[in-house]
Amino acid sequence: MPAGSRIRVVIVDDSLVAREMLTQILTSDPDIEVVGVASDGQEAIDAVARLKPDLVTMDIHMPKMDGIEAVEHIMAYTPVPILVVSSSVHGEGVGRAFDALGRGALEVVKKPEPRDWAELERIGSEIIRRVRILSRVRVITHIRGKLRPPEHLPEGPVHAPMPHVGGSAVVAIGSSTGGPSALMTVLGALPGSFALPVVVAQHIADGFIPGLVAWLQTGCKLRVVPAEDGARMEAGHVYFAPTGLNLEVDGATLRFTAPERGQLYIPSADTLFRSVARTHGRHAIGVILTGMGADGAAGMKMMREAGAHTIAQDEETSTVYGMPRAAKEMGAASTVLPVGAIPAELVAMTSED
């Protein structure tokens, strides 16, 4: 998208009311232009091919062709950033929204509805913010990255020895844009006998953590749950930070903490990683997956300096190579891997004597 030009958006939703609400919200920003609308998946495919927008907002449940099939086709033939706008925050329908992310959509947000008038300004501001950010993402044809050998980086400014990884106590993961599908790839390949607890800070719209957890559980042998303040971690469990709060690890106990003033990303991967570095040092493993920005890089560097093994997802398999790039450039990552190779690396590390 050329600098200074308006962001061109196509809105896809079978509800006229929803299309009009989204149009009102988006066009309230002078830098956004709605160049087309579609009421089903096939119309969406045709509109994207014809109009070549900078971003598409995509509903899921539609007649003729649903949003899942439309996302899959668009990402295969005319790739463009896609923001899923879903009314399914809870229940079975939310899994379909995350299925769209697995096919190449970037993020999911709650659809504004007439009953949301009291919160419309907040919801609208969040949608505009996401559109502005995601429209700048360079997407490619959605094909899974091929595995390739690990890229081992030079030690850099590390002051503590690498851990005896067979004595690891916890795996900490930070992820953002593109994270749900990357998490499914990583967590879904871990065996039910995986010997460590896993803690995750995933940036996601408010209200979607329960749906993300339920969706991931359908493809995972580990038990995937929302974290609870004060709960003790157990091996073979995956704990997700809540939206609106930070998650910290205090020994074997999970703690919720309030965001710091001006904190941009909530929950914070930096906060999670720093707590793991303090309490587990070299007996921890840190992983940064796809995501925009630099959240997690400083915290992962602290983990590496404490002796933890640290892994960053590679550029080729990252939806957005922001967080992993920052970790690599800061010297926080001891290893860079394609996302499909990370599970085997985790299993190998935790199997060492």
From the list 59, 270, 295, 314, the catalytic residue is 295
Question: Rounded CA gap, 76 and 154, in Å?
Answer: 37
Residues 264, 197: Cα–Cα separation, whole Å: 27
DSSP 155-183: --S--SPPP-GGG--EEEEEE-TTHHHHH
Q: Which of these is catalytic: 39, 181, 203, 275?
A: 203
H helix count then E strand count, the chain: 11, 15
Q: Give how far Cα 51 sits from Cα of 9, 134, 195, 281, 286, Å.
A: 9, 18, 51, 52, 42
Amino acid at 90: H
Burial code (b: 16+ CB inside 10 Å, e: under 16) for 110-135 equals: bbbeeebeeebeebbebbbebbebbb
Rounded to whole angstroms, how far apart are CA atoms 272 and 180?
Answer: 18
Residue 295 bears catalytic tag:
yes
Q: Is 116 one of the catalytic residues? A: no
Active site residues: 176, 203, 295
